[in-house]
Amino acid sequence: MNTNISYRFSWYKVVLAFMVLSLSNIAFAGDDENDVRNPLGCLDVGYEFELKTLSLFPKEAGTRNSLYFIRNKSNQRVNLYQMRQGDSSLSMFLNHDIHPNRWAVLSTCEQEVKYICTVDDRKSKYGKIVDCADNLQVCEFARVRFGLNNRGNHWIVNSNTRNGAVREVVRYGIIPQ
Amino acid sequence: MNRYQCVLAVTLAAFFSIASAGDDPVYFGKALCKYPQYECVRVGRSQSWKKMFPDEQQRDLVQRLNRTYNYLWAGKTIVVPKNLDKITWKDVSPFPLKITPQEKTKQVIIDQDKLAFAAYDEDGNLVKWGPVSSGSDRCSDNSSPTCRTKTGIFRVFSKENQLCKSGVFPVGRGGAKMPYCMYFHKGLAMHGSNDIPGRRASHGCIRMFTRDAKWLNHHFVELSNEGNNYLGTKVIVRPLKGREN
């Protein structure tokens, strides 16, 4: 009798394990597909690709302090070098690099942020200039509620998966809407 | 075996000398000894800042140049300008006296390579500079993998008086003194400290001479209000050379 129960119990366990495995497979498969889509609520606004460069206009849609999710859709590391109007030795450049197929997140409240994109090249310290439009996917959370204590211009996420990037932002205390 | 030990010791010594050479200051302290305007002085026994430089202004200037006002010890080398009685803080500034600001706003620039801050008014005139000690590469208490200060452009959103204290450090207790703290991002603040060792040594905050923090707190830094479009004084934390984040 006892043997029978334990036999039935292990059979259920096998079925359960199989179901969990299939579910996780579906979840992971979905993760890959989801990774190329913009996060929910992240809109295709507040930026422009022009002459190989990327311009961000945080104030254009929604509040001035915005959150940009930027995906490197190429299979090599993309370096972002900020371009500024004035030439001052004390200008702060919000430069960054994003790993292949990964998302980075920039918080900014500047009027305009302009980037030139490069990929690593042995011949040049700054790399070879590439067209930002071919290598980047951009979206903006235009109505983010920032606390007074976490505003500013800085990179919040260096390089992560889409869900990982959203998690990092939330853990940072910023709620994208 | 002894031979191997010798080779290992030599290799390690070479490695450490290369590693430490990378962290050697360029803009302050002993690095200035090679210039004819400065001389390097070895501190003698039972010497102190006050004994060596009785004049308060001159003492302040030498401390700024050495990026420290901590106790001196016998054998320490400090840099002293040759014409100390004729120069002012502007003459030894590591920052330009005038910049062209991109927007008409007051700003505090923290340069971690120079281990110094600069306060510029709305028109881009340098009104004050002084030493800082920002976040160290490794936390002294292992509270985080790194204690480097977050870099970026921020705004001061809160400031307190000389009684300001940390709610976090020392870990588990809090209570570390942060006189005249001025918070600019989350728990990061510029504040006064008695320990400015001439290198990056903090948990992420920007330590400065207490007299500088007091001046900034009382006379320079503004919180958000209607007059500044609800944007407090700008704080720019520049990345270390060769490290963008």
Contact (Cβ atoms closer than 8 angstroms) between residue B191 and residue B164: yes
**The two structure tokens encoding residue B103:** 């927007």
Strand pairing class (A113-121; A124-130): antiparallel
> Domain ranges in chain B?
2-81, 107-238
- Name the E strands within A34-153: 47-50, 53-56, 66-72, 78-83, 96-98, 103-108, 113-121, 124-130, 136-141
**The two structure tokens encoding residue A82:** 């900020």
Instruction: Please give, rounded to a whole number of angstroms, the shortest distance from the CA of A113 to a CA of chain B.
Output: 13
Nearest CB to B238; choose among A92, A150, A154: A92
Residue B171, chain A, CB below 8 Å: the answer is: no
Q: Which residue reads 């006892």 in tokens?
A: A2
Question: Does residue A175 have a pLDDT over 90?
Answer: no
pTM assigned to the model? 0.83
* pLDDT of res. B144: 85
CA distance A26 to A141: 28
Please, what's the b/e burial string for B189-219 (b: 16 or more CB within 10 A of its CB; e: otherwise)? bbbbbeebbbebbbbbbbbbbbebbbbbbee
Helix (H, G, I), strand (E, B) or coil at A34: helix
> Domain ranges in chain A?
1-35, 47-171
The amino acid present at B85, given as its one-letter code, is: D
**The two structure tokens encoding residue B15:** 């490695």
Domain B107-238 bears CATH identifier 2.70.170.10: no
CB contact under 8 A, B236 and A94: no
With contacts defined as CB-CB under 8 Å, which chain A residues touch B96? 89-90
Contact (Cβ atoms closer than 8 angstroms) between residue A118 and residue B127: no
Residue A99, chain B, CB below 8 Å: the answer is: no
Find all residues with CB under 8 Å of A102, minimum gap 6, and list them.
A71, A72, A159, A160, A161
* Helix/strand/coil (H/E/C) assignment for every residue in B49-62: HHHHCCCHHHHHHH
Mean pLDDT of A133-152: 90
* pLDDT of res. B3: 65
Angle at B99 between CA B98 and CA B102, to 5 degrees: 150
> Count of CB atoms within 10 A of residue B13's CB?
10
H helices, E strands: number in chain B: 4, 11
Least confident of A51-65, A80-94, B37-51, B127-141: A80-94
Residue A34, chain B, CB below 8 Å: the answer is: no
Nearest CB to B150; choose among A84, A110, A154: A154
- Name the E strands within B100-209: 107-111, 116-120, 126-133, 152-155, 158-159, 182-185, 188-193, 206-209
Question: Does residue A26 have a pLDDT over 90?
Answer: no
* pLDDT of res. B231: 84
**The two structure tokens encoding residue A51:** 């002459």
CB contact under 8 A, A148 and B224: yes
> What digits encode the pLDDT tens for the residues B185-238?
999 999 999 999 999 999 999 999 999 999 999 999 999 887 777 789 999 999
ipTM over 0.85: no
Least confident of A48-52, A64-68, B9-13, B154-158: B9-13
CA distance B230 to B223: 8
In chain B the first and final C-alpha atoms are separated, in Å, by: 44
Tell me chain A's radius of gyration from C-alpha atoms. Answer: 22
CB contact under 8 A, A153 and B153: yes
CA distance B62 to B84: 8
* pLDDT of res. B119: 97
* pLDDT of res. B205: 96
Strand partners, A116: A81
Percent of chain B whose predicted confidence (pLDDT) is above 70: 89
CA distance B194 to B177: 9
> Count of CB atoms within 10 A of residue B153's CB?
21
* pLDDT of res. B145: 86
CB contact under 8 A, A96 and B118: no
Contact (Cβ atoms closer than 8 angstroms) between residue A150 and residue B154: no
User: Which pLDDT band holds residue A18 (cuts at 50, 70, 90)?
Assistant: low
